[in-house]
């Protein structure tokens, strides 16, 4: 799950978003989202859809899977 957290942080930075904004859009409190990103709270599979929707990405992008072109 470390790769997912790394990807989330990178995407937040690439898109110029605020962690608090993403947390709110994904239905987390800022503290809860921070705990997930810092590893104090586990990233659960049920979070995938929420985080992807908040970031405007696909699950493949979240998991770092490159689309075949």
What does the DSSP 8-state code read for residue 16?
T
pTM over 0.85: yes
- pLDDT band with cut points at 50, 70 and 90 for residue 21: very high
- Please report whether residue 56 resides in a domain: yes
Nearest Cα residue to 55 out of 31, 41, 63: 63
Residue 12 falls inside a structural domain: yes
Q: At residue 69, does pLDDT exceed 80?
A: no
Can you read off the two tokens belonging to residue 50? 């929420």
Confidence of residue 67 (pLDDT cuts 50, 70, 90): confident
Please answer whether residues 8 and 62 qualify as being in contact, where contact means their C-beta atoms are separated by less than 8 angstroms: yes
CATH of the domain at 41: 1.10.260.40
Residue 68 lies in a domain: no
Task: Please tell me the total count of domains within the chain.
Answer: 1
Q: Which domain holds residue 24?
A: 2-62
pLDDT in tens, 28-65: 999 999 999 999 999 999 999 999 999 999 999 999 99
Q: How many CB atoms lie within 10 A of CB 29?
A: 11
């Amino acid at each position: 799950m470390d790769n997912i957290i790394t990807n989330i942080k990178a995407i937040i930075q690439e898109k110029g978003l605020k962690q608090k904004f993403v947390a709110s859009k994904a239905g987390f409190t800022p503290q809860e989202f921070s705990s997930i990103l810092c590893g104090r709270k586990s990233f659960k599979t049920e979070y995938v859809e929420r985080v992807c929707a908040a970031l405007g990405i696909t699950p493949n992008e979240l998991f770092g899977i490159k689309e075949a072109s």
